[in-house]
Amino acid sequence: MKAAVIIFPGSNRERDVCAALKRASGKEPAIVWHREAELPAADLIVLPGGFAYGDYLRCGAMAAHSPIMREVKARAAKGVPVLGICNGFQVLTEAGMLPGALLANRTLSFVCRDVHLRVENSQTIFSCGYEAGQVIRVPVAHGEGNFTADDAALDRLEGEGHVAFRYCSPSGELTDDGNFNGSARSIAGIFNDTRTVLGMMPHPENVTDPLLGGTDGQGLFDGLVSALQ
């Protein structure tokens, strides 16, 4: 699996995701500067975490209009998988590639800590490394990850199996405590209609090494490698 990681000015978790991708696939991902008009051949496009353009406007709003995003959309339309993590998820919603929006956390403060996620749909290229209903422990690091959408859109996401992950308790229940940022229906990550685009707030790339506090994120990258090999 060859991945292309897009760098916007202000991206800051590209190293983290590149390390996880390399560990899983054995291949160094291509780094693509946001002003490039063309993408190299890639089996997977990744929009990493960070603060694109400082997120001084709405998170992801500026990056969604970067030149490279036209190409990302074109590739996605052809079925090339796109993974947006944290700021990357925000960019995907701003670019209209995923529904909904990410608001400020309900505490109104940045939160960096491990949270529990329940895998809602394991029948996708992104989640095939997990079992449906499996609970994984993955860190978050964001100030604006409170997912929102109107009821019709939420019903549709749920009805069509487009909810990827939900925040939950360590035993997998959907609790108010578990849903630390206040996301609608505890949603932590969603797919597009073809389940080839995934946006998620938590950082699986930061738990792919036992030395760094866990390996529960490994399943996502291993799953992608096996699906896209």
Partner 1 sequence: MTENKSNVTPALAAEMGLSVDEFARCEGILGRTPNLTELGVFSAMWSEHCSYKSSKIWLKTLPTEGPRVICGPGENAGVVDIGDGDAVVFKIESHNHPSFIEPYQGAATGVGGILRDVFTMGARPIAILDSLRFGSPDHPKTRHLVGGVVAGIGGYGNCVGVPTVGGECQFHLSYNGNILVNAMCVGIARADRIFYSAASGAGNSVIYVGAKTGRDGIHGATMASAEFAEDAGEKRPTVQVGDPFTEKLLIEACLELMAGDAIVAIQDMGAAGLTSSSVEMAGKGGLGIELDLDQVPTREAGMSPYEIMLSESQERMLMVLRPGSEAEARRIFEKWELDFAVIGHVTETGRLILKMHGEIAADIPIGPLVTEAPLYQRPVQPRDKAAEIDPSALPARDPLDCLKRLIACPDLASKRWIWEQYDHLVMGNTVKRPGGDAAVVRLNDSGKALALCTDCTPRYCRADPERGGMQAVAESWRNLCAVGATPLALTDNMNFGNPEKPEIMAEFAGAVAGMRAACLALDYPVVSGNVSLYNETSGSAIWPAPVIGGVGLIADAAKAVDLALKHDGNTLILLGETAGHLGASLYLREIEGREDGAPPPIDLAAERRHGDFVRAEINASRVAACHDISDGGLLVAVAEMAMAGDRGVTLDSLPNDIAILFGEDQARYLIETASPDAVLAAAKDAGIYAQRIGAICGAALTLPGGGAISVRELKAANEAWLPAYMAGA
**Of residues 81, 83, 87, 82, the one with CA closest to residue 102:** 87
Instruction: Determine, following the binding rule CB under 8 A, whether residue 174 of this chain makes contact with partner 1.
Output: no
Instruction: Determine, following the binding rule CB under 8 A, whether residue 10 of this chain makes contact with partner 1.
Output: yes
Instruction: Determine, following the binding rule CB under 8 A, whether residue 211 of this chain makes contact with partner 1.
Output: yes
Identified binder of partner 1 from the candidate list 121, 164, 203, 225, rule CB under 8 A: 203
Q: What angle do CA 98, 102, 106 make, to 5 degrees?
A: 150
Q: Which is nearer to partner 1, 152 or 211 (CB)?
A: 211
State the amino acid at position 145 in one-letter form.
G
Instruction: Determine, following the binding rule CB under 8 A, whether residue 94 of this chain makes contact with partner 1.
Output: no
As given in the structure block, the two tokens for residue 144 are 């604006």
Instruction: Determine, following the binding rule CB under 8 A, whether residue 143 of this chain makes contact with partner 1.
Output: yes
Q: In the complex, what is the shortest distance from the CB of residue 113 to partner 1, in angstroms, rounded to a whole number?
A: 5
**Of residues 118, 183, 120, 111, the one with CA closest to residue 140:** 111
Identified binder of partner 1 from the candidate list 57, 74, 77, 112, rule CB under 8 A: 112
State the amino acid at position 5 in one-letter form.
V
Q: Which is nearer to partner 1, 48 or 129 (CB)?
A: 48
As given in the structure block, the two tokens for residue 68 are 């490279």
State the amino acid at position 211 in one-letter form.
L
Decide if 168 is catalytic.
no
Q: Are 112 and 145 in contact (CB under 8 A)?
A: no
**Which of 67-75, 93-101, 111-119, 161-169 is the region at the interface with partner 1 (rule: CB under 8 A)?**
111-119
Query: What is the b/e burial string over 178-204, where b = at least 16 CB atoms within 10 angstroms of the residue's CB?
Result: bbbbbbbbbbbbbbbeebbbbbbbbbb
In 3-state terms, what secondary structure has residue 168?
Answer: strand
Q: In the complex, what is the shortest distance from the CB of residue 51 to partner 1, in angstroms, rounded to a whole number?
A: 4
Decide if 142 is catalytic.
no
**Which of 145-153, 168-176, 184-192, 201-209 is the region at the interface with partner 1 (rule: CB under 8 A)?**
201-209
Q: Are 61 and 94 in contact (CB under 8 A)?
A: yes
Q: How many residues bind to partner 1 according to rule CB under 8 A?
A: 32
Decide if 36 is catalytic.
no
Q: Interface residues with partner 1 (CB under 8 A)?
A: 9-13, 15-16, 19-20, 33, 49-51, 53-56, 109-113, 139, 141, 143, 203, 205-206, 209, 211-213
Catalytic residue numbers read 86, 203, 205
